[in-house]
Homo-oligomer: A and B are copies of this chain.
């Protein structure tokens, strides 16, 4: 696919508009640099002046940066702080607003030494929110990642049976996602059986699946930098009455929350709907995390769908909806889809069945 300058120009326009008081901006987060230029390498710095754009990279990335970031002037450095200072001097920058979450105190000290007389102004947060609403290309990449992931899960689902270890399933799933075209897994795949499913973030281990287990599979694929994120929880052998009840509660909370997703609704309201439903059932104390998060170049990015969050959903945002109930030392059930906020409501991008499945 050729380089299309339009999305990058639009994104830079929004960046500059978001920081109208800044003369020069310094972007250091690698995903933000990718979003603004197309450069997929690491350890760079992007300087955004009123009329100029310089991408600073070390020698490992010069050729790659020149091939990817066609809208920026690419300048090579040996030391990043020196490279930034050099660009500031070339453009006679007097004030630089920098991404405060992405600059270490150590590098900040070096920058201050290298730029006497230049005001370095920390800008707190705000940069990742630029990426919250996705364009058509971004949406199609997340959709493709979700499709690859879903097909891989369908292929390994038959492995979920008594005696098979969690980590064997996780490994096969990641392998199949990559064979299917994913560049990698979105994160370390979670396959958590039995009491491990009661931990929201279990690491797959040597535990073998047993009859009656809940098996939670939280997984995703990456395509051209864009992530998918989905959780299916299966029950092995035969579901107990309690497992069925809890599954139905989580499923209903999940469905109601997705039903409520549409432009104009706050993120906190989506969380309140899922949590409120579990509260009515007296189970909300077993739902110890937020209802969801944005998904894109990072698997966790703004907005957060959590209690009290006032951000308003907009068309093009891609978010997870993932309520769960975790019964300590027993088992847990989480049901998660990645959904696109459309003009009318929500469209699921992940497509594995969320019906109660006993295997």
The residues of A with any CB-CB pair to B shorter than 8 Å are 59-60, 63, 98, 100-109, 122, 124-125, 171, 175, 178-179, 184, 188, 199-201, 288
Contacts and interface: CB of A to CB of B under 8 A. Distances in A.
Nearest to A107: B101
Nearest to A188: B184
A201 B100 contact: no
Contact of A171 (B59, B108, B178): B178
Nearest to A179: B171
Contact of A109 (B104, B122, B288): B122
Contacts of A124: 106, 109
Given A106-B125, A171-B178, 20 more contacts: A60-B200, A60-B201, A63-B199, A98-B105, A100-B105, A100-B109, A101-B105, A101-B106, A102-B104, A103-B105, A104-B104, A104-B105, A105-B108, A105-B122, A106-B122, A109-B122, A109-B124, A171-B175, A171-B179, A184-B188
A129 B215 CA distance: 42
Contacts of A107: 101
Given A171-B175, A178-B171, A288-B59, A104 B106 contact: no
A205 to B, nearest CB: 10
Nearest to A288: B59
Copies in the complex: 2
A251 B28 CA distance: 39
A179 to B, nearest CB: 7
A339 to B, nearest CB: 24
A104 B100 CA distance: 7
Contacts of A104: 100-105
A91 to B, nearest CB: 22
7 contacts: A100-B105, A100-B106, A105-B122, A106-B125, A109-B122, A109-B124, A171-B178
> Which 9 residue pairs are nearest across A and B when measured between Cβ atoms?
A100-B106, A101-B106, A100-B105, A175-B175, A103-B105, A105-B122, A101-B104, A171-B178, A105-B108
A101 to B, nearest CB: 4
Nearest to A110: B124
A184 B170 CA distance: 12
A329 to B, nearest CB: 11
Contacts of A171: 175, 178-179
Q: Which of A102, A175, A184 has the most CB of B within 10 A?
A: A175
Contacts of A201: 60
A89 to B, nearest CB: 21
A311 B357 CA distance: 60
Contacts of A188: 184
Contacts of A184: 188
Contacts of A59: 288
Contacts of A60: 200-201
Contacts of A200: 60
Contacts of A108: 105
